[in-house]
Structures are given as C-alpha cells and as structure tokens.
Chains A and B, each alone.
Chain A
C-alpha cells in the first residue's frame, strides 16, 4: 500500500466503503481521486470537528468513526446534567472519546470541554469540515457567523463546509452550508420553530396546562420574589423552588401533571429527543460529510427535512441565500484611507460613492459606536467623533459596520491606511 496504514487496519476492514472509493461512478466529482489518493485523504489527512456531544453529537461521532474518519475533534458544551443522561446512548459524556477509541481502533477522538467561543479562528482553520449536532440556536448562530467570517478570498483553505443537524421529537433536519456560497444558518432564522410561548395573560389568569403553571412560577413569580437575581436553570435548588410554586398553583386550579422534571424541561426549553430520530439525522449528516470529504458522490443541496409526526415524510430543497442576511448577505468593501481623514470626511466619501448608494449611514466597530444617526441621544453622544480622525478612532484599521435605511441590511467596510 502506498499510503501509511495504521496498525489497526486489518484485512477487509474497509471492504464495503472501498468499493465506493476505488472507482469513480456516474455522479462522482471530476476531482475525485479514486483509490489510494482519496483513502489517504479520508483516513490520514482529514480533520473533522463535531460540535455537541449530546444525543445527536454522540451518534455523529460513532458514524464518523465507522465511515473511516480518523482524526475527530469534539467540543462538548454541555454541563453535566441529569436530564441528558437518558438521551445519550454512550451514557456519560466524559466517556465519549474513550468509548469510540476503544470500539473503533485507530480513531483518535480529541475532546474539548467548554464553549465554542473559547476557540479562535486558528483553531477552526485546522479542520476540513465542521458538523454541528446541537440544540442551541445561539451556539449555531455563533459557529455559522464564525465560519462565514473565516472565509478569506486569498485562501481557499479558509472555506469550511458546515453540516448542521438538528432534531425535535420525530422531526429533524440536516443541511449543508458552504459559507458565503450557499444560504447560511442566519439566512433561515425566521424559518425556525420558536419555543412555544404562552400569552402572559393566560398564564396570569386562566392557566389550563401544567406548563402554564410552570411559566407562572418562572416568568411572573421568580422576578416578583427575587427581583433582578437571575434564575440559574442548572441549579437544582432553583428548579425545586419553581417546582414548588408551580405545583401549588396547579393545585389551586386543579391542573394535573406538574413534575420536577417537567419544570426543568419547560424552563430550560428541553426539546424531547428521540434516539432513533437522532440516529437518522446523524447518519444523514455523516453521509454528507463523507461525500464532501471524498467527493465520491453528489452532496446535499442543501436542506433535508424529516417529518415523522404524521406518518413519515421527507423533503429536500435548496434554501436560498438571503440578500439581506446580516451574516452572509450585504456587501463588503475594502477602503484605503489617509490616516488623517476625519470620520465626517469618511461618511461624506461613502455617501458620494456611486457603487454604494448610501444615505444617512450609521457606523460602528465590533467594540464601539462611531457615529449613530439616531436616536437623538446617541447622535449627540457620538457626534464629537465626526471631527476625530479615522486612525484615532480605529487605530490599525479594521472592520466597520455601516447601516442605513437605504441598505438591505448592512455594509461591511475593511479600513486600511495609506
């Protein structure tokens, strides 16, 4: 064999998968390197990141290991939580990496316990692919924006395909996001099912469901009793307090079904996870990862929906990129300016540019506001900046976000000094 083979690779280990990798098929990409080339890439070069080590994440890890990915990293963002235990077939999160490495020899799983936000661009740049198996919308928005921002036109390696899986009971979806090329997670934000919120007057006056009682305890009673003190949904004492209040309320209105775990489920917005739905979605995500990594077959373009609530129904479609997406939409312009140019002059220059067509812009950097048109108080607070030089306001240059009523969403400026 031309490529270095791991000690663990016994005869016939990859018999089935190799039939796909050994010869091009009718739908293989023209860049497909049948045989040793593609096997070497998959097994010895590719590095893949899995985000989330819950029910879906664990299933993804197992599938990846079995299809031949060997260098797998996983970020486990969950704190240890009793409610997670029954959802993960690998039982304890700490064991995930260990478990996979024991069961699938030759695979290296490197876990990181912490937040995705702990890691910088260089960390994400080392991977060929990222798969998300998360239930947090916030975390997905963050990783999506990070991967879109990572794309550097001078560096092809900076474009990292993102495969996102998610489940909710019998429903699930898998999608492929090619940052800056296809629709991104933010583009589809308004498609999301939002958590059920009950009208506050129903909660206050006419509770009918155990959930109404729990929301009464968490939305109305907690702030009334504790003021600004934040509820810690990971703290069992806080959940117990809410449960006690909710149970008393339920008794008063003769409502059945308030339990400790339902209380925790409602306040943490825990969506019922069904292991077999996770298995279907994880498998779909991993097949796409395999196809993208090997170019052995056409990959998902770009959204697969599984609806198992009324019989079984699935639907695949191309979700379209949004022009006014705050993450991947909008224009970006590089501007080289003289260091002594004032902010006012910069704004004037922007409004005069034919290709931008901007009126009354407001400008900010990731850390501060430069000039805001409105409301009056903010205009007044930022007005003194107009006379300052751009180099004084953003030493070293960098990103400036411009919003204006005339823009679909925003414009991103990359300021450098001449």
Chain B
C-alpha cells in the first residue's frame, strides 16, 4: 500500500476528527440557528427535538415600494401592495437526510387564494425545485416565500383563476384576496380563513 500516513502527518497530526453527526444534520442546525427573519415570519416546531419537520407562519406587511421599475407598474403594484396584509399563512417544511443536495419540501397547509399556490398547497417558487442549489439555505427559501405574498406572479400560475384575475382585473383580484382571507368561497372554491 502507498504510504498515505506520512502525508497525513504533514497536514495536521494533532487534529482528531470523529464526528458522527451527519452533514445534513449539522447543516440544518446551522441554517436554523442563523436564520435572520423579519418580524413577519415565525417558525414553529411541533416537536422541538425534530429539526427536520417544522412550520413557518408568514404574516405579510405592506412590502416596499423600492422594487418597482416603471411608473405604470408602480401604479399597478401600488394597488397590490399589502394585499395579503392581515393574513397568517402557514407552510410546512420537510427536510430529508439528503439536504442540502435535495431542497426542503415546502407546502402551504391552508387552502389560499394566490396565483402561485395551488389548492393542494403546492408552491411555485423556482428555488424550491429547478433552481435549488446546495449553497442556498432555509433563510433563502423563507425570504422567497414571503416575497410571493408581496409580489405574486401571474406568469407562473398554479391557481389559474387567481392568476387570470390578477392580470385582467386587479380590483376584482384584490377583492377576491380580501374575501378569501375571511374564508369565503370564490368560483365554487372554499378558501380557508387565514386572518391573523
């Protein structure tokens, strides 16, 4: 056999390296304890021993006016700012042992009226699927989710009705958002009451 040990000695003779904690586990601990969330987001662990399964509640605020590029868009988006304010939206996070190679599985636990969330709670957020990378973390996912409530995107619809309404008739869309949050039904779909 080659003499690997001599190479080892040159490197770091003194270090003892015996962790049995899995890389996924350490990474989740690191992600969670270094979360930097605005006051609009809170995590909840049904079982505080289990770091891999938890809930995130988002209570969106007005958002900011900074992101709007054109005057016309500014006016349109102004109408939409803070449209989900007053609601409390809960998402479940399930992380598997292949994290961060695999992204966390995220679902909305309520039936909500949102262009990018379907009635089963599936969420259309690129970093949850096609654009996930191991360098991203739980903080990026949570910030991404919150962004969906400040800037819903009618181009990537999962709730087609909502998306069409949003691009066609913003007043009606706003009205629908507000009444869905109170737990009414829209076009035959019963939405959950999500008022905080």
Q: Which residues of A come within 8 Å of B, CB atoms?
A: 29, 31, 41, 46, 128, 137-138, 141, 145, 148-149, 151-153, 156, 159, 161, 178, 180-181, 186, 189-190, 192, 194, 196-201, 204-205, 219-220, 223-224, 291-293, 295, 299, 326-328, 331-332, 334, 362, 364-366, 368-369, 372-375, 377-378, 381-382, 399, 401, 403-405, 409-410, 412, 414
20 intermolecular pairs with C-beta atoms under 8 Å apart: A137-B98, A141-B98, A153-B13, A159-B5, A178-B4, A180-B8, A199-B126, A199-B130, A200-B158, A220-B120, A293-B1, A326-B27, A362-B29, A369-B51, A377-B45, A377-B48, A378-B45, A401-B19, A409-B30, A414-B16
Contacts of B20 in A (CB 8 A): 149, 366, 399
Contacts of B49 in A (CB 8 A): 368-369
Known: A138-B98, A378-B32, A414-B16. A186 touches B23 (CB 8 A): yes
Contacts of A159 in B (CB 8 A): 4-5, 8
B11-53 contacts to A (CB < 8 Å): 11-23, 25-27, 29-30, 32-35, 37, 42-45, 48-49, 51
Cross-chain contact of B101 among A137, A145, A332 (Cβ < 8 A):
A137
Contacts of A204 in B (CB 8 A): 118, 122, 124, 157-158
Known: A205-B160, A378-B45. A412 touches B18 (CB 8 A): yes
Contacts of A366 in B (CB 8 A): 19-22, 25
A403 touches B30 (CB 8 A): yes
A399 touches B1 (CB 8 A): no
The interface-forming segment of B60-68, B132-140, B178-186 is B132-140
Contacts of B171 in A (CB 8 A): none
Report the tally of A-B residue pairs with Cβ distances under 8 A: 182
Contacts of A334 in B (CB 8 A): 16
B30 touches A145 (CB 8 A): no
Contacts of A220 in B (CB 8 A): 118, 120, 122
Least CB separation from A368: chain B residue = B49
B18 touches A399 (CB 8 A): yes
A205 touches B19 (CB 8 A): no
Known: A292-B1, A381-B48. A148 touches B17 (CB 8 A): yes
Contacts of A201 in B (CB 8 A): 116, 124, 156-158
A197 touches B132 (CB 8 A): yes
Min CB gap B145→A, angstroms: 14
Cross-chain contact of B130 among A189, A197, A292, A332 (Cβ < 8 A):
A197
A374 touches B34 (CB 8 A): yes
**B3 interface hit (Cβ, 8 Å):** yes
Give the distance in Å from the alpha carbon of A80 to the alpha carbon of B10 in the complex: 46
Contacts of B120 in A (CB 8 A): 220, 223-224
Known: A29-B3, A128-B1, A401-B26. A198 touches B16 (CB 8 A): no
Q: Which residues of B come within 8 Å of A, CB atoms?
A: 1-5, 7-8, 11-23, 25-27, 29-30, 32-35, 37, 42-45, 48-49, 51, 97-98, 100-101, 116, 118, 120, 122-124, 126, 128-130, 132-135, 156-158, 160
Q: Is the interface of A mostly helix, strand, loop or mixed?
A: mixed
Give the distance in Å from the alpha carbon of A219 to the alpha carbon of B118 in the complex: 12
Contacts of B126 in A (CB 8 A): 199
Q: Return the 8 tightest CB-CB contacts between A and B, nearest first.
A: A156-B5, A381-B48, A326-B23, A201-B156, A362-B33, A403-B30, A197-B129, A412-B19
Least CB separation from B45: chain A residue = A377
Contacts of B156 in A (CB 8 A): 199, 201
Taking A149-B20, A180-B8, A192-B101 as known contacts, 10 extra A-B pairs with beta carbons closer than 8 A to each other, sorted by chain A number, are A137-B98, A198-B129, A200-B122, A200-B123, A326-B27, A368-B49, A369-B49, A374-B32, A403-B29, A409-B26
Contacts of B129 in A (CB 8 A): 197-200
A378 touches B132 (CB 8 A): no
Min CB gap B71→A, angstroms: 29
A149 touches B18 (CB 8 A): yes
Least CB separation from A401: chain B residue = B21
Contacts of B15 in A (CB 8 A): 153, 331-332
Contacts of A332 in B (CB 8 A): 15-19
A399 touches B21 (CB 8 A): yes
Cross-chain contact of A372 among B23, B32, B98, B116 (Cβ < 8 A):
B32
Cross-chain contact of B11 among A161, A181, A377, A378 (Cβ < 8 A):
A181
Contacts of B27 in A (CB 8 A): 326
Give the distance in Å from the alpha carbon of A362 to the alpha carbon of B35 in the complex: 13
Cross-chain contact of A295 among B1, B100, B132 (Cβ < 8 A):
B1
Least CB separation from A414: chain B residue = B16
Contacts of B44 in A (CB 8 A): 377
B14 touches A153 (CB 8 A): yes
Min CB gap B2→A, angstroms: 5
B14 touches A145 (CB 8 A): no
Contacts of A369 in B (CB 8 A): 29, 48-49, 51
Least CB separation from B30: chain A residue = A403
Least CB separation from A413: chain B residue = B19
Give the distance in Å from the alpha carbon of A196 to the alpha carbon of B132 in the complex: 11
Give the distance in Å from the alpha carbon of A189 to the alpha carbon of B4 in the complex: 24
Give the distance in Å from the alpha carbon of A281 to the alpha carbon of B122 in the complex: 40
Min CB gap B144→A, angstroms: 13
Give the distance in Å from the alpha carbon of A27 to the alpha carbon of B32 in the complex: 50
B33 touches A292 (CB 8 A): no
Contacts of B42 in A (CB 8 A): 375
